[in-house]
Amino acid sequence: MKDARKDLHREIRTLLEDEYGLRPSVSRAAKIGSGLRRGRDVIIENGVELGDGVQLGHRVSLRNCRVGDGVRIEDDCIIGYANLTGGFSHRFEERHVIVPTHIGAGTLVRSGAVIYQSVTVGENCWINHRVVLREHTRIGDHSCIGTMSDSEGYNSIGSHVLIHSQVFLCSRLTIEDYVFVAPHTSFTDGNPMNFAREVSSPEAGPVIRFGTQIGTNAVILPRVTVGCEALIGASAVVTKDVPPLSLVTGLPGKVVGRVPEHLRMPEALRRHYYGGRADPEGI
Ligand SMILES: CC(C)(COP(=O)(O)OP(=O)(O)OC[C@H]1O[C@@H](n2cnc3c(N)ncnc32)[C@H](O)[C@@H]1OP(=O)(O)O)[C@@H](O)C(=O)NCCC(=O)NCCS
């Protein structure tokens, strides 16, 4: 009797799935840890792995991803989104490497965020409302990406980084640990600008070194390196490399002074990053 009922269930399931295309919204092939809490209309596809104590809001869609313990993903987020258009990815050798997106333990993804496949977000991060992280964006631990910021992918953002709202993070950008970026800042990687023309060098994104602070509405041009603990003033356009600890303002950005001691990183952290010294090389 029990077997007959099981067979009937299997038949009904096959009919619904194969004949009518009604796949279950939570795949039976997904690995789900203990204590999952989820809202309405959540989709969890094949191959998704969830740690323990994960919380999912309404209408969350999880595709090619692994989600760590205690992660909270709010309403209307898509994680593991597949790139349909290709965008600029023909420039990059990793373009064919597709791996599951990884969301580290304790991270909060706020409502409306879209995180593509092949993205790594570290532990205890905050990915804010309507952020877009495209493929091969890598983010360390304890970092925050502000509301409506956009990462074009193929870039690297360190740990303890605070990116404020509506920041544009171009490809091939490197941001080291403890960097602060104020709202509306743009990092740029393309000269010439239009990718349909001759493409720029794949190494063209800026490098922002440890402990730098960037004021609101700044523009950082391709290939520029901003040295450790520099301070870029509001609306500066940085066209050339910036020495460590420099205060830069204006268009084009000019070094107008040295960052005062009280605006620097705590000494213990400096010594950690500068190999025991209190100041970066060359100071
Ligand atoms: C660059 C900055 C740090 C300088 O601060 P400060 O040392 O206190 O500078 P002051 O206000 O004393 O101004 C010193 C001079 O620099 C000028 N100046 C200040 N900021 C400037 C800027 N961003 N661009 C051009 N000139 C600037 C001032 O007009 C003043 O010129 P003056 O001597 O001819 O009058 C600051 O003005 C700045 O841009 N901060 C960024 C703020 C921000 O984006 N916060 C984000 C929070 S979310």
CA atoms of 85 and 282, how far apart (whole Å): 45
Instruction: Output the CA 190–ligand 1 centroid distance in Å.
Output: 28
CA atoms of 190 and 171, how far apart (whole Å): 9
Task: Reply yes or no on whether the pLDDT at 212 is more than 70.
Answer: yes
Are the CB atoms for 82 and 116 separated by under 8 Å?
Answer: yes
Query: What is the arrangement of strands in the sheet containing 207-208, beginning at the earlier edge strand?
Result: 31-32, 49-50, 65-67, 101-103, 120-121, 137-139, 155-157, 174-175, 207-208, 225-226
Q: Is 235 in the pocket of ligand 1 (CB under 6 A)?
A: yes
pLDDT single digits (tens) 150-201: 999 999 999 999 999 999 999 999 999 999 999 999 999 875 566 555 555 5
Domains contained in the chain, CATH given: 34-193+203-273 (2.160.10.10)
Mean pLDDT (whole number) for 218-238: 97
Lookup: tokens for 81: 């989104």
Q: Is 164 in the pocket of ligand 1 (CB under 6 A)?
A: yes
Query: How big is the CA angle at 28 (ends 22 and 30), to the nearest 5 degrees?
Result: 120
Instruction: Output the CA 224–ligand 1 centroid distance in Å.
Output: 22
The band of 66, judged by pLDDT with boundaries at 50, 70 and 90, is very high
Q: What is the mean pLDDT of the chain?
A: 91
pLDDT single digits (tens) 131-144: 999 999 999 999 99
The band of 112, judged by pLDDT with boundaries at 50, 70 and 90, is very high
* Residue from 163, 167, 249 to probe ligand 1 pocket by mutation (most atoms less than 8 Å from CB): 249
Q: Is 250 in the pocket of ligand 1 (CB under 6 A)?
A: yes
- Which percentage of the chain shows pLDDT scores above 90? 76
